[in-house]
Amino acid sequence: MRILKITAYIAAALVVFWLIAATLISGDCRFEKSTAIKASVEKVWQNTNTLRAMDSWSPWQEKDPNVKKVWSGSTGQSGEQQCWEGNDAVGKGCIKVLKVDSVAKRIDIEMKFLTPYESEAMEYIIVQPNGSGSKVIRGFTSEIPFPFSPMKLFMDLEDQVGPDFTSGLQKLKVLSEER
């Protein structure tokens, strides 16, 4: 009986500690990668300003060449959407263009993943002048919901999404520099 009480107190203390930590730790997540490209801003922008253009350098295409995709909306406009369903490596979800700013060379996208687990993120791609070429910044923001925010302390976004972002940016670089 005494061991059961001690175990219950320890469990309760751990739950209280976790909840306090969840209150103090922000669930906001942000990740960014960039690369320099020896091509004009306009040329790079043409490879980043629509979901169809981004599909040509997406690193996830290689993870499942047989992924099923459904496109809707007007290409390069707010509302353009691609939903996909693939193997375990790419899962299932939808990506939707929220805003295309051709003056600032920025596209904002909403991503909703349904499998392997439900999550949402806001992705953006920005193309900027960089000397005689361009700099592309690709990033996302997301939020870990309460009470799971302490999990952020154990996440390594560089390890989890860094390789895919780097691979995609390298493919974009090759595509933009060869044309």
Q: What are the start-end ranges of the H helices in the chain? A: 2-24, 41-46, 51-55, 60-63, 157-160, 162-178
pLDDT in tens, 79-119: 999 999 999 888 999 999 999 999 999 999 999 999 887 88
> Does residue 66 lie in a domain region?
yes
Is 179 a residue whose pLDDT tops 60? no
More confident residue, 42 or 1: 42
> Does residue 35 lie in a domain region?
yes
Q: What is the pTM of this model?
A: 0.85
pLDDT for 100: 97
> Does residue 142 lie in a domain region?
yes
Query: Which structural domain range is residue 152 located in?
Result: 27-178
> Does residue 15 lie in a domain region?
no
pLDDT in tens, 36-63: 999 999 999 999 999 999 999 998 888 8
Would you say 149 and 24 are in contact if contact means Cβ atoms under 8 Å apart? no
The residue whose two tokens read 């020896």 is 38
> Does residue 159 lie in a domain region?
yes
CA pair distance 157, 165, nearest whole angstrom: 11
Is 150 a residue whose pLDDT tops 90? no
Tokens at residue 7, please? 């175990």
Q: Quote the DSSP letter at residue 8.
A: H
For the residues of 33-78, what is the DSSP string, one character each? EEEEESS-HHHHHHTTSSHHHHHTT-THHHH-TT-EEEEES-TTST
> Does residue 37 lie in a domain region?
yes
Tokens at residue 142, please? 């997301």
Domain tally for the chain?
Answer: 1
Strand 119-130 relative to strand 68-72, pairing: unpaired
More confident residue, 119 or 133: 133
How confident is the model over 112-133, as a mean pLDDT? Answer: 93
CATH number, domain at 68? 3.30.530.20
> Does residue 3 lie in a domain region?
no
Cis check: omega of the bond before 59, within 30 degrees of 0 = no
> Does residue 8 lie in a domain region?
no
